[in-house]
Structures are given as structure tokens and as C-alpha cells.
Amino acid sequence: MHLKYFIIAGESSGDLHGSLLMKHMQELNPNVQFEGIGGNLMLSRGLKSFVDIKKMNVMGFVEVLKKYSFFKSVLNQAFEKINLGEFDGIILIDYPGFNLRLSKKIKRAFPNLPIHYYISPQIWAWKEERVKIIQNFIDQMIVIFSFEKKWYSKHGVDAKFVGHPFLDIYDNVDKKIVRQKLGLNKNKNYIALFPGSRLQEIKNHLPLMLNAINDKFFDNFEFLFGKARELDDIDLNHLNYKQKIHVIDKNPEDALIAADFAWVGSGSSTLQSVIFNTPFILLYKTSFLSWLIMKNFVKVKYAGMPNIILDKPLIPELIQQNLTTEKIITETKRFFNDTKYRDNLYNGFKHIISELGEPGASKRAANLIINYDRNDVN
């Protein structure tokens, strides 16, 4: 039986999760086809993408507003392709600003076309009123955190909890093996630099990281820069100054796995660090205007998913004006100098992982989509 889906992921973590979902859907039905928007990982699974995902990867209210005409054009193109194609379903992966708008347009035009939302937007954190869009325009919400299922239930949505895909992707991580593969010195301490996957995150976070490296405390440290796949076109060879920074671009996650500690931009890399058992500090800085707008919307106490899951500040979060070179240095020193603090972090990591469900998330999500009964369409 031939099946055809229109699938959209707008940034790097969505591309990763989308590729795994596609893989398991193809295992269930080798004749399944995909069109839409995705990155290199989804393209490698056979996706026919009509736009470069790098152009979609923008963060911040003001930054998105500057590209409004571009996003409006892409949304219209997506709708036209859905209108012309004969699809068995739509799969939206996170990326709410774009995907929720598109879902309304699709459902109004094609009420019998199933819309699956895989990896919920964080509407429990901000702009909670968007749950009405989920209620009215999404046929199946598939979530990867157990607390999300409970939250949706309170709002009348029967969300399906499948667990977190990272448990499958990184099920056999071994720091020692990765360090050997990278040719690292077993007698050195390594700190991973993970400023983010967007160009504006590099501009906001990386200079502060590089300033911190100059502190005498780090004279005997070396650094691993995890170059996100979206940054392929950016030359970062200049980072190898003082021979202290190694640019890891083939598998950027290896930088996080191999490191003793990490400086991580807010996003999915924070949860990766937990699974890799690599303690870290969270960094986040955006434009002043974007931050002012965000402060008025955000309802959760923490920026990082590890702290949100625990509902306590296990991980230091250096955000906006609190993100300084001095604080990066201070929090890093605390980790290396305070045994009790270190032990508390590692114990907290175990608890976070226990909240992520069982392995097999992508496979369960694929089953839910492939076997979805069209009679259940809203």
C-alpha cells in the first residue's frame, strides 16, 4: 500500500527527530513517501524538501518579524503543495509559529486530512491559549514528555506519550570510546562549547565563551567546539587559536559526550548533556526587544528542560543580563572545585532520565501515524 505524507521540521532537532520517525515509518511500510521541509538527515531518508532548512532556523520575536515575508511565502508554498498533492496525512514537528498557522489553513481547506503533531510546542510554557488550535485543528498530538500528557489531559486533549527519542539515539554512549576516537589526551580536562545551531546564537554566545577561555583557571584545559550541522557554510577554523579548541563538525554531539563539562545554549542540547552524563551550564541571550516580549509570555520558572522536568534549579541558567564571562567562569570553577555540588548534579541527572519513559519512542510514534484511523479525524 502506497502512503504519502507531508512533513515539516524547521530546525536541527526537528530534522533529527523527523529522520528517525521517517525511518520507522519506512520499516512499517517500505512504500511510504515524504514531501515537505527538512534538513540533511531527513533528506537522507528520501524527503523531497522545497526549502533550505537553514533559512527557517530563526529564533526570537524580532528576528522572525524581520523575515515575515519569507515565512509567509513558504507557508503559502507549503499549502499549495498540499493542495496539489494527494497526501494521506500531515506531520508537523515542533516549530509552532509556522506549523500551528499552517495547521489552521490545512484543516479549513481539507477537513478530512489527518494532521499529526509530533513533539509538542511548549505551549505549557508560554502562549497557553494556543491549546485551542491543538483542540480544533490537530487530529493527533504525540508528546515526548510525560508531564505534557498530563497537561494536555487537563485541557481536554488526549495526547499520546511515546517517550523521548534521545533514549534510542544515544543508548550506548561511552565517553572513553568517543575520547579515543577523537584522539583526546586522557590526562586533560575538556569543556564542550555548544553555543547553538543558529547563527544568531553563535553571535550572542560564542564571544563570551572565548573570553572565558582566557581565564588562568583554564590554562591546562582544552575545549571541544560542537559545530552544528546547520553551520556547515561558516568557517570556524580561526577557533583553533592557542591550539586549545578542537572543532568537532562530523558528529558535533561527540564534543558533548567526550567533555568533562559543557557550556550549552538553551535547547535540546541540554537534555543531550544529561543523557551523556556531562554536567553543564545553560546559556541564553537574545535581542533586548525579543527578551522583553518573551518575559511577558513565559509562564515557567526555568529555561532548560532538565530544570523544568525536575521543577528545581539543578542546572545553573545564565540568561540575558546574567550571562557574563565572569559568571561562566565562576559556575565552571564551582563544578570542578566542589565535590558535593558535582555529586548532586549526577544524582539529578539520573532522576531526569527516569522521567523520559522507555526506549522506542520513534517507533511508537511511527505506529501511531501509520495505523491512524481516518474515521477519528476531527
Q: Tell me what pLDDT residue 232 has.
A: 57
Contacts 24+ apart (CB under 8 A), 204-209: 204/285, 204/286, 205/263, 205/265, 205/283, 205/285, 205/323, 208/283, 208/323, 208/324, 208/325, 208/328, 209/263, 209/283, 209/328
Q: Are 13 and 253 in contact (CB under 8 A)?
A: no
Mean residue pLDDT across the chain: 89
Question: Binning pLDDT at 50, 70 and 90, where does residue 240 land?
Answer: low
Q: Does the 172-354 domain belong in CATH 3.40.50.2000?
A: yes
Q: Tell me what pLDDT residue 299 has.
A: 64
Q: Tell me what pLDDT residue 20 has.
A: 97
pLDDT at residue 99 greater than cutoff 90: yes
Overall average pLDDT of the 18-43 stretch: 96
- Summarised one tens digit per residue, pLDDT across range 355-376 is 999 999 999 999 999 999 766 7
Contacts 24+ apart (CB under 8 A), 291-294: 291/320, 293/61, 293/62, 294/61, 294/126
Helices (H), ranges, the chain: 12-28, 40-44, 53-56, 61-66, 68-84, 96-109, 131-137, 146-154, 166-169, 175-182, 199-213, 253-258, 269-275, 288-297, 305-310, 325-337, 339-354, 361-370
- Summarised one tens digit per residue, pLDDT across range 293-329 is 566 666 668 889 999 999 999 999 998 889 999 999 9
**Grid cell in block for residue 346:** 549526577
3-state secondary structure of 5: strand
Question: Binning pLDDT at 50, 70 and 90, where does residue 26 land?
Answer: very high
**CATH 3.40.50.2000 domain position(s) in the chain:** 3-168+359-376, 172-354
3-state secondary structure of 196: coil
End-to-end CA distance of the chain: 24
Question: Binning pLDDT at 50, 70 and 90, where does residue 229 land?
Answer: low
CATH architecture of 3-168+359-376: 3-Layer(aba) Sandwich (3.40)
Query: Using CA atoms, how far apart are residues 13 and 267, in angstroms rounded to an integer?
Result: 9
**Grid cell in block for residue 218:** 583554564
Q: Tell me what pLDDT residue 67 has.
A: 75
Question: What is the helix (H) or strand (E) element at residue 276, kind and residue range?
Answer: none
- Summarised one tens digit per residue, pLDDT across range 328-350 is 999 999 999 999 999 999 999 99
Overall average pLDDT of the 15-42 stretch: 96
Encode burial over 34-45: b for 16+ CB neighbours within 10 A, e otherwise.
Answer: bbbbbbbbbeeb
Tell me how far CA of residue 3 lies from CA of 34, 42, 211, 259, 348, in angstroms.
9, 17, 52, 43, 43
Q: Tell me what pLDDT residue 184 has.
A: 94
- Within 13 Å of residue 327, how many CA atoms lie on the same side as its CB? 14
CB contact set of 346 (below 8 Å; sequence gap of 6+): 277, 279
Query: Using CA atoms, how far apart are residues 288 and 311, in angstroms rounded to an integer?
Result: 27
Number of Cβ within a 10 Å radius of residue 283:
29
Q: Tell me what pLDDT residue 66 has.
A: 73
Q: What is the dihedral of CA 294, 295, 296, 301, to 10 degrees?
A: 110
Q: Are 319 and 303 in contact (CB under 8 A)?
A: yes
Residue 203, phi-psi category: left (phi > 0), alpha (psi -120 to 50), beta (remainder): alpha
**Grid cell in block for residue 325:** 564571562
Q: Tell me what pLDDT residue 1 has.
A: 76
Q: Tell me what pLDDT residue 122 has.
A: 87
pLDDT at residue 168 greater than cutoff 60: yes
Q: 103-107, 213-217, 285-289: which has the minimum mean pLDDT?
A: 285-289
Query: Using CA atoms, how far apart are residues 10 and 12, in angstroms rounded to an integer?
Result: 7
pLDDT at residue 31 greater than cutoff 80: yes
pLDDT at residue 47 greater than cutoff 60: yes
